[in-house]
Structure 1
């Protein structure tokens, strides 16, 4: 297996580095392409089977070099922030759509077929609010981030039909777990809340806290990604990655307080532009195609692992 690595773009980041650990444990070698804008070298193990290329998916030549000789690709690299895309649509477009197109072209040229793509529940916008969102829910991107993710899906489908790529498109809902970077202003709400709670610093909630999200522990997601890499067959159609569970931010704060034994002061401010009110996945297709841990990792167990408790 080690002769032909798996390429993980964004592999030094939160989800990518957790995936790298699991791939190594399963006997694969791994090539990581990461510009280290949010990823960290220290997230990657000191293992001879890991090759790190410091570069950007927006650089077509760099992507060609990274894809060459690989058996498959997991494309996680992105500016994974709604707010960043609102602030800088052009800059995020280079990473989030041009990067995907560069990858598709490099795979076509190199004859690499299997690619897993991290899309997002953001493609649905506010459609399906108050009910479980299935993959056929109308798409209504509210931000450049969401528009780039949806456009990437269309490009991947084109390369499937025209050039025989085998894309597996996953629409991530809210993934959480160890190595989320709370220092980033664009980090996930769980890592920001937990860091501030651990330090006893006030917590700010944008909105009334009754907005809901469908949280999935990163280890459960990684299990699904490995199954998709190893599956002999690729079925068409994007797949929601969620648990069909709606958790309010206020409930999340309550769970953090239970794990830590208390919370600092919590304040509320106006909602941010582009934020979605309610988000919950209909995950019937996910459960049909892949195995989730039974039961999936509980919120409190996942928080304890994130906090190292």
Structure 2
């Protein structure tokens, strides 16, 4: 019989993609979500599947966490309040969800005898470190409340591994994008937000001069990393953190160039939409580029999608699903 997986935040962008993937692989999947940022429509295709269970609950409530981990072999913890600006505007709620909620999930997983706890860490943990590429054991000081919460997650995970023997693996996500990523709301990620604006012939606003760069990472590479982290039998590969990225960087100007190029295949007028430049955003790091050597070596990670390949697929999905 296939193992049972709990995916917290399973109605969100990354979580719902993970739910679909593991259901397709024959696993039993439980999703825990309070729908603060996730959406029911992300789970619509799974609701009638006998191997899928939805628990509406909040990781800030320990009882909800305990209920969700009952009988579970692996936890993929994706539930969090993302966004640097959100954490600057409301640090208390970000801390309650990302730190207290995370600790609840660790305690519940420990008490339930979960085999392994894989969690969404963040490239924001590198903070003010200017070294490129980013290597896992060299970080700087955090630049936002959000970054602090994600670093605290890593510290708690390490303590639970050492003190209680709970296997943990943290995946430091680098600017993940792809199907199901929400383009709406004040804290929408840049790629879906810009896609939506360009489809409406509205001018996107780039923070700064557009020369900041990011290691944009397509969702399928992230799914691969989660699966490898969950299934690895290499004991040296657990109780640590990994960059989860493609290992290349793209400037915001180039990102917009390719967005317009691929969207123009559907509507040629999009190529003429002007770009507006605004001030830099507080808490933003100028450049982000991951070394993925550790993941390649210990997990045999082999990302299949470059930025351009992933963007092409994402644009097609948005065109077909958001018009």
TM-score band (shorter)?
over 0.9
**Equivalent position SS for 1:98:** helix
Deviating beyond 3 angstroms after TM superposition, the runs of 4 or more aligned structure 1 residues are 291-294
In the alignment, structure 1 segments of 5+ residues that lack a partner are: none
In the alignment, structure 2 segments of 5+ residues that lack a partner are: 265-270, 318-323
Give the structure 2 partner of residue 24 of structure 1. 23
1:204-233 CA-to-partner distances (Å, cap 9, x unmatched) read: 111111000001110111012112111123
1:101-159 CA-to-partner distances (Å, cap 9, x unmatched) read: 00111112111130101110101112035x20101113311111110111111111111
* CA RMSD, Structure 1 to Structure 2 (Å): 1.4
Bigger mean CA offset, 77-86 vs 104-113: 104-113
Pick from 53, 56, 65 the counterpart of residue 51 of structure 1.
53
1:1-309 to structure 2, matched below 5 A, reads 1=1, 4-44=3-43, 45-46=46-47, 47-129=49-131, 131-234=132-235, 235=237, 236-261=239-264, 262-293=271-302, 296-308=304-316
1:3-40 CA-to-partner distances (Å, cap 9, x unmatched) read: x5200001111111111111011110100011111111
> Take 1:23 and 1:228, find their aligned partners in 2: how far apart are those partners?
13
> Take 1:139 and 1:63, find their aligned partners in 2: how far apart are those partners?
32
> Take 2:285 and 2:192, find their aligned partners in 1: how far apart are those partners?
19
Give the structure 1 partner of residue 268 of structure 2. none
Aligned residues: 306
Verify the 8 A CA contact 1:126 1:277 in the aligned structure 2.
Answer: no
Compute the TM-score of the two structures, normalised by the length of structure 1: 0.95
Verify the 8 A CA contact 1:31 1:51 in the aligned structure 2.
Answer: yes
**Equivalent position SS for 2:240:** coil
Verify the 8 A CA contact 1:128 1:137 in the aligned structure 2.
Answer: no
> Take 1:273 and 1:64, find their aligned partners in 2: how far apart are those partners?
37
1:33-66 CA-to-partner distances (Å, cap 9, x unmatched) read: 1111111111112322111111111111111111
> Take 1:102 and 1:263, find their aligned partners in 2: how far apart are those partners?
50
